[in-house]
Amino acid sequence: MLASAKEMADASKDLAALRAAVESFDGCSLRRTATHTVFADGNPEAPLMLIGEAPGADEDRIGLPFVGRSGQLLDRMLVAIGVRRTENAYITNVLFWRPPGNRKPTPEETAICLPFVWRHIALKRPKIVVLCGGTATATLLNRSDGITRLRGRWFDLSVPDLGPIPALATYHPSFLLRAPAHKSESWRDLLSIQSRLNSLK
Ligand code: URA
């Protein structure tokens, strides 16, 4: 019998083991249509962990999260507050495989991957989590209110085996590409992240 995502996640004792477990997991049908498993990018020692929705076409082709247009915007936004993904950020998604045609992931698909995502956060041990967009926010905070109501607010993310971690909900960069008028709200969120990061020093 196939081991469940929860069993495989719990058995993973470090990030390398978790990555291998996700790569070998056969329980999510998205894997069959995807080219690559997209696990994470950035510095595993960074205090900041950003969590987006799912790989798109560029991410699926390259095997890294947030490398397409929205990722490039995310990088520029982070640089504006002194954060570089290779140095002081760690980036992942709530889905490890691209939904065909970039459709929105179904609740079943996010639920299947969730034990890996919780374990990912627990093993990574970030000081601060940023939830990018409605899917990551709804999935990890288990709230049905939309991102417009939740963005800009800090929540205690109850991470199994780790405890409460401060988490900020913010707009997804791909939404900002479509609706640049909302960039001023995201700028406020970035300043809030910067101030939390500074308070860790
Ligand atoms: N959008 C996401 O949510 N994640 C990616 O990795 C790329 C685009």
The CATH number that applies at residue 17 is 3.40.470.10
Structural domain count, the chain: 1
pLDDT digits (tens, 9 = 90+) for 2-46: 579 999 999 999 999 999 999 999 999 999 999 999 999 999 999
Torsion 101-103-55-84 (CA) sign: positive
Confidence (pLDDT) at 191: 98
Q: What is the pLDDT of residues 122-180, one digit of tens each?
A: 999 999 999 999 999 999 999 999 999 999 999 999 999 999 999 999 999 999 999 99
Q: pTM score > 0.95 for this model?
A: yes
Ligand 1 center to residue 37 CA distance, Å? 13
Full strand arrangement of the beta sheet holding 48-52: 41-42, 90-93, 48-52, 128-132, 163-170, 154-159
Residue range of the domain that includes 167: 2-199
Q: Is 60 in the pocket of ligand 1 (CB under 6 A)?
A: no
- 137 near 167, Cβ under 8 Å? no
Q: Establish whether residue 53 lines the binding site of ligand 1, counting it when its CB lies within 6 angstroms of any ligand atom.
A: yes
